[in-house]
Amino acid sequence: MEVQAWYLVLIWPIFYFVHLFFYKRKWYNLNFRGEKSTYSLGISLYFSVALASTLAVISGMSLSALVYLTVVTLLGLFDDLYGSDVAKGVKGHVLYCLDHGTVTTGIVKLVGLPIAAFVYLFSRFEGQLNVAVLLALLNFTLFPHVVNLFDTRPLRSFKLFMIFLFIVICFYIPDFSWFFVFVITLVIWAGLEMYERAMLGDNGAALIGGGMGLLSLLVPFSVQIVFLLIAFLLTVAAERMSFHKIIEKRPFLQRIDQIGRRRVFQKH
């Protein structure tokens, strides 16, 4: 319990000072209300994972997994800091690159994420290249993009992750210390998004998607296939329609979407 207590003491300042640093550097976007919201959650969550790994709270967290999460988070941060709105979506970035001969930050991330995943999986599975590794590679590649698709309103990506985490826990029961770390970290993440002080941004989406990739390795092969099918369908659908409009037009989805949101602005 002493290790968990240290984590509890240190995690709050991490989120606070990272948020403050981003705000001072003007690393924020205007959210859908036109308010300033830093995209600091990804870096904060990364440091929380690194802290937990250092304190040996997360059992089984290998150095290669931490390095992988470091790379994908930095790729997302690069997109946050230097990206532009000239292209949207996977198709948009690819077409813009082909039409203008310019490599966007989205393309860098699009290429970098699967490369980072391949290097990690190659290390984890000791150089084996089989169907299981290919399936994992596809999931590792698609998950960050799917998380990013839902990061358009507060708590959407959080709820997506919670559904994913529930499915994983159905097949893999973590020890208490591992679960404790998740609960504390998730509460802080949800709180900052709930009050719209911070957002995931591309760095957070990459980190959470990468974490989902790592967690997906804990479930049976058949469940991983289901994950892949859902991620693929969501990615394809996002190129043709707006998830936000779909949610807004369906009362049931809208009610779920409003859970935990700032009610005073519900009709805004």
Q: Would 71 be classed as within a structural domain?
A: yes
The reply to whether 90 falls in a domain is no
Q: How confident is the model at residue 89 (pLDDT cuts 50, 70, 90)?
A: confident
Which of 6-15, 23-32, 99-108 shows the lowest per-residue confidence on average (mean pLDDT)?
Answer: 99-108
What is the overall mean pLDDT for the chain? Answer: 87
Any domain includes 78: yes
For residue 190, give the nearest of 32, 44, 27, 28 by alpha carbon.
44
pLDDT score for 130: 92
Q: Indicate the range of 60-64, 105-109, 183-187, 221-225 predicted with least confidence.
A: 60-64
Asked whether residue 89 is domain-assigned, the answer is: no
Note down the domain range covering 187: 2-83+109-241
In a domain, 255, yes or no: no
Q: Tens digits of per-residue pLDDT, 103-136?
A: 888 889 989 999 999 999 999 998 888 999 999 9
215 within domain boundaries:
yes
Give the number of other Cβ atoms within 10 Å of residue 16's Cβ: 14
DSSP class of residue 198 equals B
Report d(CA 177, CA 59) in Å as an integer: 8
Q: What is the DSSP letter of 174?
A: -
Residues 135, 221 contacting (CB under 8 angstroms): yes
pLDDT tens per residue, range 149-187: 999 888 999 999 999 999 999 998 777 666 777 788 899
95 compared with 67, residue with greater pLDDT: 67
| Mean pLDDT lowest among 2-6, 57-61, 99-103 | 57-61
Residue 202 domain-assigned (yes or no)? yes
pLDDT recorded at residue 177? 65
- Pair of tokens at residue 11: 């995690």
Q: At what angle do helices 221-238 and 201-216 cross, to 10 degrees?
A: 150
Average pLDDT over residues 244-260: 86
Query: How large is the average pLDDT for residues 89-103?
Result: 79
Domain total in the chain:
1
What pLDDT is attached to residue 1?
60
What pLDDT, on a 0 to 100 scale, did the predictor assign at position 59?
58
- pTM of the predicted protein model: 0.90
**Is the residue at 93 inside a domain?**
no
* pLDDT value at residue 141: 95
